Amino acid sequence: MAVRALIFDVFGTLVDWRSGVAREAEQLLAPYAPQLDGGAFADAWRARYGPSMETVRSGARGYVDLDALQAESLPAVLAAFGIDGVPEAVLADLVLAWHRLDAWPEVPDALVRLRAAHLLAPVSNGHVRLMVDLARRNGFTFDAILGAGYSRDYKPKPALYRDAVAALGFSASETLMVAAHSLDLAAAAQHGLATAHIARPREHGPAGGETAPGVPVTYAAADLADLARQLGV
Amino acid sequence: MAVRALIFDVFGTLVDWRSGVAREAEQLLAPYAPQLDGGAFADAWRARYGPSMETVRSGARGYVDLDALQAESLPAVLAAFGIDGVPEAVLADLVLAWHRLDAWPEVPDALVRLRAAHLLAPVSNGHVRLMVDLARRNGFTFDAILGAGYSRDYKPKPALYRDAVAALGFSASETLMVAAHSLDLAAAAQHGLATAHIARPREHGPAGGETAPGVPVTYAAADLADLARQLGV
């Protein structure tokens, strides 16, 4: 079946979360932690992302958005780095660092090419406003914002993939999940979606990133421009 | 409070549903009803829209999208016009007439102006794919698609207004509901939203349309370009 719609993971796949969070943390925390290693701080904060989402995925509590989860995680990250005395307003601004991330270099142009032939929507664990802010900052044009906000749950729960397919109205096999993370693609494939892996060897900075899919995929691409070429756009 | 985000009713406010449905009905039903008055057909179909949505709003059944409701209403409309023998494929295409409607003339340019200064999202009783198709056809760029698909219910239920405010992340008073229908604006105002009425004197063809708000509103505009002027963009 021809691909009609592309749905995207965002953090790591379309935007470079580590560099952006590192930059913002170093700037905002400079008065409280002048020697901060922003990359290490970003890694530590990101490490709490999975467990914090699990409190929602497990049903232990109702849906709360990623800003709320990141805000909850932040005090422990600060403590781990020995940082204290940060005013509430700075903490709130630091949570918004996740709204101020830059795209990987080829992404904006590749999205324009892809959108000429396909419907595009993020299916991220980020909520609507977070996606809107990243899209505005980076010049992304999406047809819709799906994902955690739309489904009130977090990937890899089935609702996110199923709701995205239903919302865009093509068959699952005409809907292509695009991600730099094999676990996300494996979950999408379980629901019949086509899958595209994007190599992001620098996602985790010195710790690397997935250079190739660890699961069977429909497309494996070096970057989003390569995926566009493989799709013939 | 300054307006930060605009949310839009779509059928009647941004697009001319009556002319579009009339055109499509006359074309698609020509072999079965050569003398069809497409405008009257559109009116009859539209008249069933409220009662059909009420089956969801009342909780009598779970959320089904507007395509499903329009498809359910269609046989009775055809019967009322004495039309029979229409193949299933034509009926399915006729339901998609609602995806092929044209904007009121000033809307595309006005949305471009408004988007330079505000976040924009439809909050329609149409679902995601329906909004996406109307946006693509008419060159609308939205930041997100909210409304019935996002809230799994129909206006004027509170969830649609509350969910839209929460998704865009501004206060209710910074969020402007834009509609050609006073009932929609009255409901939005109940939840603290700012409101803008757009006059659409030809929405219902010879039967007219709202030329002015019937309830107190924040802005009353002759069309969407006038609203943009009033908002200073």
Per-residue pLDDT tens over the stretch B3-24: 999 999 999 999 999 999 999 9
Q: How far apart are CA B206 and CA B9, in angstroms?
A: 22
What pLDDT does A152 receive? 98
Question: B7: closest CA among B152, B202, B169?
Answer: B169
Say which DSSP state B207 is in.
Answer: G
Q: How many Cβ pairs within 8 Å bridge chains A and B?
A: 44
Average pLDDT of the segment spanning B24-39: 98
Per CATH, domain B5-16+101-230 is 3.40.50.1000? yes
Here the contacts of B43-49 (C-beta below 8 Å, separation 24 or greater) are B43/B18, B43/B204, B43/B205, B43/B207, B44/B77, B44/B80, B44/B81, B45/B21, B45/B70, B45/B73, B45/B74, B45/B77, B46/B17, B46/B18, B46/B21, B48/B73, B48/B76, B48/B77, B49/B73, B49/B125
* Identity of the residue in B119, B129, B167 whose CB atom sits nearest the CB atom of A168: B129
Here the contacts of A71-80 (C-beta below 8 Å, separation 24 or greater) are A71/A95, A73/A45, A73/A48, A73/A49, A74/A45, A76/A48, A77/A41, A77/A44, A77/A45, A77/A48, A80/A44
* Identity of the residue in A136, A150, A169 whose CB atom sits nearest the CB atom of B129: A169
pLDDT at A149 over 80: yes
What pLDDT does A193 receive? 98
Do the chains contact at B168 and A131, CB–CB below 8 Å? no
Say which DSSP state A121 is in.
Answer: E
Mutation to test the B interface, candidates A143, A174, A175, most B Cβ within 10 Å: A143
pLDDT at A43 over 80: yes
Chain B contact for A143 (CB, 8 A cutoff): yes
pLDDT tens digits for range A18-38: 999 999 999 999 999 999 999
Residue B197: enclosing H or E segment and its boundaries?
A: strand B194-198
* Identity of the residue in B119, B145, B169 whose CB atom sits nearest the CB atom of A144: B145
The CATH number fitting domain B17-99, selected from 1.20.1440.230, 3.30.1360.30, 1.10.150.240, 3.40.50.1820: 1.10.150.240
pLDDT tens digits for range B144-187: 999 999 999 999 999 999 999 999 999 999 999 999 999 999 99
Q: How many residues does chain B have?
A: 233
Chain B contact for A68 (CB, 8 A cutoff): no
pLDDT tens digits for range A85-128: 999 999 999 999 999 999 999 999 999 999 999 999 999 999 99
What pLDDT does B97 receive? 98
Average pLDDT of the segment spanning A120-149: 98
Residue A138: count of CB within 10 angstroms of its CB: 16
Query: Domain boundaries in chain A?
Result: 5-16+101-230, 17-99
What pLDDT does A1 receive? 74
Residue A123: enclosing H or E segment and its boundaries?
A: strand A119-124
pLDDT tier at B211, thresholds 50, 70, 90: very high
Q: Cis peptide before A75, with omega less than 30 degrees from 0?
A: no
pLDDT tens digits for range B74-114: 999 999 999 999 999 999 999 999 999 999 999 999 999 99
Q: Kindly state the percentage of chain B with pLDDT values over 90.
A: 100
Chain A contact for B190 (CB, 8 A cutoff): no
Using the structure block, give the residue that is written with the tokens 């997935």: A210
What pLDDT does B1 receive? 74
- Which chain A positions have a beta carbon within 8 Å of B150's beta carbon? 149-150
Chain A residue closest in CA terms to B143: A132
Residue type (1 letter), B203? E
* Identity of the residue in B132, B146, B167 whose CB atom sits nearest the CB atom of A119: B132
Chain B contact for A20 (CB, 8 A cutoff): no
Question: A149: closest CA among A10, A13, A38?
Answer: A10
Do the chains contact at A132 and B146, CB–CB below 8 Å? no
Q: Are strands B119-124 and B194-198 parallel, antiparallel or unpaired?
A: unpaired
What pLDDT does B187 receive? 98
